[in-house]
Amino acid sequence: MTDHYTYRLSWSPEDNEHVATCAEFPGLSWLAEDELSALSGLKDMIRGVVEDMRANGEPIPYALADKKYSGQLSLRRKRQPMAAV
């Protein structure tokens, strides 16, 4: 399940390292000298967090990639009179 989460790698000039983040766990990140280490460190941490959440009966975030959407977009607009042609 953790492989379906949305991961992002970027460079942190403040830390002078690569940082990995996860959209489904916005409070977690992992810093490392190289991209692969940052990503694998974060994935390992998230696996542990998910195991703890499961053991404590907490709801586990659903992977954004696995969500199904209708494909419909509903918009509301303020009612305005039609313009004269």
Q: How far apart are CA 65 and CA 84, in angstroms?
A: 46
Collapse the DSSP code of 41 into the 3-class scheme (helix H, G, I; strand E, B; otherwise coil) and give the result.
helix
pLDDT reported for residue 20: 98
**Residue 79 above 90 pLDDT?**
no
Between 78 and 15, the higher pLDDT residue: 15
Domain ranges of the chain: 2-57
> What is the rounded distance in angstroms from the CA atom of residue 3 to the CA atom of residue 39?
11
For the whole model, what pTM was predicted?
0.78
Residue 70 has a pLDDT of 86
Predicted confidence (pLDDT) per residue in 29-72, tens digit: 999 999 999 999 999 999 999 999 999 999 999 999 898 888 88
Q: What pLDDT does 85 receive?
A: 60
